[in-house]
Structure 1
Amino acid sequence: MASIFSKIVNGEIPSHKIAETEDFLAFLDAFPITKGHVLVIPKTEIDYIFDLDEELYAKLFLFAKSIVPALQKTVPCLRIGVSVIGLEVPHAHIHLLPLNSMSDADFSKKIKISQEELAQLAEEIRGNL
């Protein structure tokens, strides 16, 4: 069965896309822990990030890095944090998190943000790419 991320890649589930290439997709997390929480995925469904071949692994992180300047410009923060947990969705992914404190990286807390706010935020980030 396809992961929720594969369904997003295939257009079966809507998302607020930030950037896309032939191999990768970045989109706003629908249940963010910080404003501007971005998920970066390979389009190929591979469960565990360390099962990616070396080339795909390196390119995934380079793709994620390319989004950081636009994210920082859009969401004022001290840093963009990177997290790879890999338990919540069986599809390799990287979390990009605008951070102002360590407590901003608490995955047990979600923020409330409307679909309209997510759409506006995605548009602003894309505009800063």
Structure 2
Amino acid sequence: MASVFSKIIDGELPGRFVWSDETCVAFLTIAPVAPGHTLVVPRAEVDKWTDLPAEEFAHLMSVAQIIGRAVVAAFDAPRAGELIAGFEVPHTHVHVFPAWDMGGFDLSRANSDVADAEMDSAAAAIRAALREAGNGEHVAE
């Protein structure tokens, strides 16, 4: 059975995509720890990040770094946070979010009740920052 992330990638479920390439996608999580909390997800459905081929993992981290720069720029944050947990969905995913303190690293503090307009605005801000940084060819519409 396909993971919820595979269903989002395949368009069976909605997602606020900010990045798309042949190896991975990035979209906002439905339970952010901060505005702009984004998941970078390989297209291949691999449960554990430690099982990804090295080249694919390196690409995922490269995209996570680009998304990290974008969330810092979009939300005027001092840092970007990054986490790999994998307990929520059995499909590798990297959490990238603007961080002001260590509180963002606690996924149990995620908010699953964010207004659609706020989520749409966060996605638009990240897309704009990605375009501004010269990554327009990968920015999802």
- Which TM-score bucket, shorter chain as reference? over 0.9
4+ residue segments displaced more than 4 Å: none
Counterpart of 1:123, as a letter, is A
| Distance (Å, rounded) in 2 between the aligned partners of 1:16 and 1:74 | 16
TM-score between the two structures when normalised by the length of structure 2? 0.87
* Whole-angstrom CA distance in 2 between matches of 1:100 and 1:116: 23
Structure 1 CA distance for aligned equivalents of residues 68 and 61 of structure 2: 11
How far apart in 2 are the matches of 1:104 and 1:67? 16
* Aligned alpha-carbon RMSD (Å): 1.0
What is residue 53 of structure 1 aligned with on the other side? 53
- CA displacement at 1:31 relative to structure 2: 0.9
Distance, in Å, in 2 between the alignment partners of 1:58 and 1:122 is 24
Aligned counterpart, 2:44: 44
User: Which residue number corresponds to residue 4 of structure 2?
Assistant: 4
User: Which residue of structure 1 aligns with residue 123 of structure 2?
Assistant: 122
Unaligned runs of 5+ in 2: 131-141
Deviations 1:90-113 (A, max 9, x none): 000100021111122211112342
Q: State how far apart, in whole Å, the 1-side matches of 2:24 and 2:114 are.
A: 25
Shift in Å, 1:46: 0.4
1:54-81 per-position Cα deviation (integer Å, ceiling 9, x unaligned): 1111111111112222211111212101
Structure-1 separation of matches of 2:115 and 2:33: 13
Structure number with the higher helix fraction is 2
1:99 is the counterpart of 2:106: no
Identical positions, percent:
37
Structure 1: unaligned runs, 5 residues or longer: none
TM-score w.r.t. length of structure 1: 0.95
Q: Distance in 2 between matches of 1:47 and 1:32?
A: 21
- Distance in 1 separating the partners of 2:110 and 2:46: 26
**Count of residue pairs brought into register by the alignment:** 129
What is the DSSP-based 3-state SS (H/G/I as helix, E as strand, rest coil) of the residue aligned with 2:120?
Answer: helix
